[in-house]
Amino acid sequence: MAMLAELKCSVCQAGDPSLTDAEITDLLKNVPDWQVIEAAENGQAKTLRRAFKFKDFLSALAFTNAVGQAAEQAGHHPALLTEWGRVTVTWWTHKIHGLHENDFIMAAKTDQLYTGES
C-alpha cells in the first residue's frame, strides 16, 4: 500500500461502515503515536487522538493552521485544541459517527506536518 500519508481521502457516505477493530489495529501500525479513544457510554464516536508538543503558543498556533489547511484541502476536518505548548488533534468521521480510513490518512498527514517541539 502507498504510504498512508500519500493517499487521498475517499468520499465517505453516511451509512458507510466504520472500521472494524482489526482494521483499526492494522492501520494504527502506520501512526504509532496516535491513540484510539473508545466511544464514551453516551454513544459518542470512537476517535483517533494525538497531542503534539511545542515550545510556545505561537508555534502551536502555526501548527494548528497548517493542519487546518491540510484538512480544508482534503475536505476532512479534525477537532483541534490549541494551548500554550500543545495541540491536541482528534480525528473521526462525523458522517459515520466513527473511524474511517480517511481519519488514519489525515493522522499520517498530520504527523508529516510536525517538525518537533523545538
Ligand X SMILES: C[C@H](O)[C@H](O)[C@H]1CNC2=NC(N)=NC(=O)C2=N1
Alpha helices in 11-114 (DSSP H): 21-28, 57-74, 101-113
- Least Å distance, CB 94 to ligand X, is 4
Compute, in degrees rounded to 10, the torsion defined by CA atoms 82, 111, 12, 94: -20
Closest by CA position to 8, among listed 109, 111, 79: 109
In the complex, the smallest distance separating the C-beta of residue 76 from ligand X, rounded to whole angstroms, is: 5
Q: Would strands 47-53 and 79-83 be described as parallel, antiparallel, or unpaired? A: unpaired
Q: How is the beta sheet containing 79-83 ordered, strand by strand? A: 35-37, 47-53, 86-91, 79-83
To the nearest whole angstrom, how small is the minimum distance from the Cβ of residue 108 to ligand X? 15
Question: Closer to ligand X at the Cβ: 18 or 59?
Answer: 18
When the beta carbons of 59 and 78 are compared against ligand X, the nearer one is 78
Cβ at position 83, least distance to ligand X in Å: 21
Residues that bind ligand X (CB under 6 A): 75-77, 93-95
Question: Judged by CB, which is closer to ligand X: 54, or 89?
Answer: 89
Nearer to ligand X, 68 or 75 (CB): 75
